[in-house]
Amino acid sequence: MAAPAAPAPTGSATARAVRNVVFVDGVRTPFGKAGKKGIYAETRADDLVVKVIRELLRRHPELPPERIDEVAIAATTQIGDQGLTIGRTAALLAGLPKSVPGYAIDRMCAGAMTAVTNVASSIGFGAYDIAIAGGVEHMGRHPMGEGVDPNPRFLADQLVDTSALVMGQTAENLHDRFPHLTKERTDAFAAASQARYDAAVKAGKIGPEFVTVATRSAEQGWGLASADEPPRPGTTVETLAGLKTPFRPHGRITAGNAAGLNDGATGCIVADEDTARELGLPIGMRMVGFAFAGVEPEVMGVGPVPATEKALARTGLSIEDIGLFEVNEAFAIQVLAFLDHFGIADDDPRVNQWGGAIAVGHPLASSGVRLMTQLSRQFAERPDVRYGITTMCIGIGMGGTVIWENPNWDGSDK
């Protein structure tokens, strides 16, 4: 906990100490493939969020709904069933008291991450005690960029290169910038992500965080989404080598070494630590600090590097202090650029030990809380690890990093 604030001048508002903020618990829907054949093709985005909120309350009856101070839900494309201030409307649809406010937020891929850091800041300041934060993306109904009208000055004034607005092209640009990070290395990382995810499912590591979703198909009737749809178990480097490179002739980015287009929702409970203990809520992890940073939009995938450096500097930690990493795998090249910068091996077991977005999918604004939920559950198994990181690149040239402390740490050196 930070040191208490200096005494307030006479006649001013009462000074406050910064409070400890904790991640209580997180859940998510299984992730689906975007498109007409995906499991959520005929399911509304806001209904996915409603399922997540209701599941958080079902799992934690010790939390009185009226004690929730805020509901912050992110979506990148805020139109249709992802519009209308989805944090507020989903809260109402989920049956929360009408006294509970809510709002929508957009920071593209880091939407849910930003929802968490926003409510955490308010909790730390003392404006809230408990909040729900999360994100949703139905990329089948709302493809990335739907309805947007980029200002022509971006290109006319040469503020960005044309590639900056196409995420796959920015990943190709990263290969240009770091030629030693070859396609062979990215394919190897992608195949390993699929294998790690498959092993985690078989070991029961993936699944306890799911909220099952009833789905409807006009052709097939009702169904139940209870497992992730995107993973491709058995993927090999050899099969990845022959895939097409849609963003550049003879390029290096393929459907196999990048996250797909996906649908899904995530949510979590964030609270003041004292309030969590008062109510008997579990403490999954404690927030240490966070940072967002901007980079050249043409190489947005490098964003986690300066964001992590900034977060480490502000918390007084070093990369050697971090025992677990959850790095969003928008593209394998983006993860390798991060690892290479910090001198971490491509196959370091501390990194994405249960696989990542290349296997499970990346429904844009929802992914940040998936990373946090997995890290929290890993902390519970690893009392030898004190600190962990969740980090991701963000479209239009940004990165975001949150550093967490393991409440189960046993005092060992790691």
Tally Cβ neighbours within 10 Å of residue 114.
Answer: 25
Catalytic residue among 109, 142, 175, 268: 109
Report if residue 347 sits inside a domain. Answer: yes
Report if residue 93 sits inside a domain. Answer: yes
Q: Which of 111, 171, 168 is nearest to 302 (CA)?
A: 171
Catalytic site residue 175? no
> What's the confidence (pLDDT) of residue 2?
45
> What's the confidence (pLDDT) of residue 69?
98
Report if residue 361 sits inside a domain. Answer: yes
> What's the confidence (pLDDT) of residue 5?
45
The CATH number for 368's domain is: 3.40.47.10
> What's the confidence (pLDDT) of residue 371?
98
Q: How far apart are CA 148 and CA 333, in angstroms?
A: 27
Q: Which of 13, 28, 24, 19 is nearest to 1 (CA)?
A: 19
> What's the confidence (pLDDT) of residue 3?
44
Where the chain has pLDDT below 70, the residues are: 1-15, 413-414
* Contact indicator for 129, 109 with CB cutoff of 8 Å: no
> What's the confidence (pLDDT) of residue 412?
81
> What's the confidence (pLDDT) of residue 12?
55
Catalytic residue among 138, 175, 268, 393: 393
Catalytic residue among 138, 142, 175, 362: 362
Report if residue 169 sits inside a domain. Answer: no
Report if residue 286 sits inside a domain. Answer: yes
Q: For residue 181, what is the DSSP state?
A: S
Count of structural domains, the chain:
1
Q: How far apart are CA 9 and CA 14, in angstroms?
A: 9
Q: How far apart are CA 116 and CA 366, in angstroms?
A: 11
Q: For residue 150, what is the DSSP state?
A: -
- CA distances in angstroms from 309 to 316, 319, 333, 373, 391, listed in the order given: 10, 8, 19, 23, 11
Report if residue 69 sits inside a domain. Answer: yes
Report if residue 166 sits inside a domain. Answer: no
Q: pLDDT digit string (tens) for 121-174?
A: 999 999 999 999 999 999 999 998 899 999 999 999 999 999 998 999 999 999
Separation of CA 268 from chain center: 11
pTM for the model stands at 0.95
* Average pLDDT of the residues of the chain: 95
Strand ranges, E, within 48-101: 70-74
- CA distances in angstroms from 15 to 20, 80, 122, listed in the order given: 16, 43, 15
Q: pLDDT digit string (tens) for 366-376?
A: 999 999 999 99
Domain residues for 27? 21-140+259-405
Q: Based on the number of CB atoms within 10 Å of its own CB, is 294 exposed (0-12), middle (13-18) or buried (19 or more)?
A: middle
Consecutive H or E run containing 270 = strand 262-272
Separation of CA 393 from chain center: 10
> What's the confidence (pLDDT) of residue 4?
42
Catalytic site residue 341? no
Report if residue 227 sits inside a domain. Answer: no
- Residue 398 has phi, psi (to 5 degrees) of -145, 170
- Token pair belonging to 305: 């590097």
* Contact indicator for 150, 165 with CB cutoff of 8 Å: yes
